Structure 1
Amino acid sequence: MKKEDSFENLYKKVDATSKTRFHASRRLKLHSKLSTHTVVIISLGLILISLLQAYELGNNIESKLVALVQVFSAIAVLVYSLLIERNDYSNLSEKMYSCAAKLGELKQKIYPHLGQPFERGVYDELRDEYHAILKLFETHSNSDFRADYFRARLEMPENYIINGLEWWRIKAYIAFSHVLAFSSYAIVIVALVGVLSWIGFGGGQKFS
């Protein structure tokens, strides 16, 4: 029997993959919510600007930059709508969650065999089921699971010993990955709030 051919090793792989897919599901679900909310907020911003123009409210409502902001906001809505449709975050999240749930069921099948005499036939059957689940929920639209995998490893101290500087390096990488992935939503919202504040309360007509 090869060293990697053991129920313990198979359980470890299934556990790590299950946790990775679960974290991926949560990440994609958050992307779906933030993308949708961003489109709604930008659209409301456009409506508010139109109302301010209609009633001639706001210190800088007559500025030529207002038209530029409206065009940019309309393009942003289009881009985010296309990204939502293209990435299909909601559907991918459901797939990842279903995969994690299936792998969780497989873990329960493997668990009774831990520490027991090795049975090749049972092992091959469970291993094949593991690969079948991965193929069933395979997706090429989103394959960036690195940060999700690191999070899974941190939750498996019995299998992965991570201490000291390595622990901090992994935590920093996870935090950086999330900031990089979700920062665009915050930037767009902050920029929109800033522009609306300038239109409504900014001083002067410098760019008119």
Structure 2
Amino acid sequence: MKKEDSFDNLYKKIDSTSKTRFNASDRLRLHSKCSTYTIVVISLGLILISLMQAYGLGKNINNDLVTLIQIFSTIAVLVYSLLIDRNDYSNLAEKMYSCATQLGELKQKIYPYLNQPHNQDAYDLFRDSYYSILKLFETHSKNYSSSDHIRARLVMPENYNINGLKWWYSKFDIYSTLLLEFLSYILVITTLVLVLYWVWFGWSFP
């Protein structure tokens, strides 16, 4: 029997995949929330600017750039709405979670076979079940992030020896990847805050 055909290896593979998909589910849920909150914040910003125009509030409220800002903000709301509909983060997160849950159940069924005499029939059954679950919840590769797998490996010290500089590098990789992935939300909200400050207080951009 080859090592890669052992119950230990199959258990490790399922455990890693399950944890990775749980992490992907959390990340996609956060995407869904951030997208929705970004639309809400931009919409509230547009309403606030409209009210400021109605009551003549703000030092730069009559500036020609305000109209341009309103048009751009409206387009931004439309774009984020289309992105939410296209990416369907919430539904994908549910699929990832369901897949991870079923893999977790399969993992528990395999556990009694660890450190026992090899049972080829049982192994073939569990292996086929594993691939069937993956096919059932098949998703596009764009929905995956390297941070999901790295996070899974960090909580599996019994299978992955990640210590010292390698541990710090893994942590840096996770946070830098997530930062780049969610940077657009931060930039949009920050820009909106600066714009509202400029409209209200008349702060001059350098």
How much has 1:167 moved relative to structure 2?
Answer: 1.1
The equivalent residue for 1:163 is: 163
How much has 1:89 moved relative to structure 2?
Answer: 0.3
The equivalent residue for 2:201 is: 201
How much has 1:141 moved relative to structure 2?
Answer: 6.1
Output the amino acid matched with 1:64.
D
The equivalent residue for 2:78 is: 78
Mapping of 1:1-208 within 5 angstroms? Answer: 1-140=1-140, 142-202=142-202
Residues in 2 aligned to 1:145 and 1:60: alpha-carbon distance in whole angstroms: 43
Please tell me whether the aligned partners of residues 10 and 127 of structure 2 are also in contact (alpha carbons under 8 angstroms): yes
Residues in 2 aligned to 1:111 and 1:59: alpha-carbon distance in whole angstroms: 68
Output the amino acid matched with 1:53.
Q
Give the fraction of aligned pairs with identical amino acids, expressed as a percent.
Answer: 66
How much has 1:143 moved relative to structure 2?
Answer: 3.7
CA displacement, residues 140-187 of structure 1 (integer Å, 9 cap, x when unaligned):
163423110000000000000011111111111001011001111111
Tell me which stretches of 4 or more aligned residues in structure 1 moved more than 4 Å.
none
When normalised by structure 2's length, the TM-score is 0.96
Aligned length: 205
| Structure with greater helix percent | 2
Residues in 2 aligned to 1:99 and 1:202: alpha-carbon distance in whole angstroms: 52
The alignment's C-alpha RMSD in Å is 1.3
Residues in 2 aligned to 1:149 and 1:75: alpha-carbon distance in whole angstroms: 35
CA displacement, residues 22-56 of structure 1 (integer Å, 9 cap, x when unaligned):
00000000000010000011011111111111111
Residues in 2 aligned to 1:145 and 1:21: alpha-carbon distance in whole angstroms: 10
CA displacement, residues 76-128 of structure 1 (integer Å, 9 cap, x when unaligned):
10110111011100000000000010000001100000000000000000000
Q: Which of 89-98 and 159-168 deviates more?
A: 159-168
Please tell me whether the aligned partners of residues 87 and 141 of structure 1 are also in contact (alpha carbons under 8 angstroms): no
Structure 1: stretches of 5+ with no match in the other structure: none
Please tell me whether the aligned partners of residues 197 and 203 of structure 2 are also in contact (alpha carbons under 8 angstroms): no
Output the amino acid matched with 1:8.
D
Residues in 1 aligned to 2:140 and 2:185: alpha-carbon distance in whole angstroms: 24
When normalised by structure 1's length, the TM-score is 0.96
Q: Which of 90-99 and 161-170 deviates more?
A: 161-170
Please tell me whether the aligned partners of residues 11 and 110 of structure 2 are also in contact (alpha carbons under 8 angstroms): yes
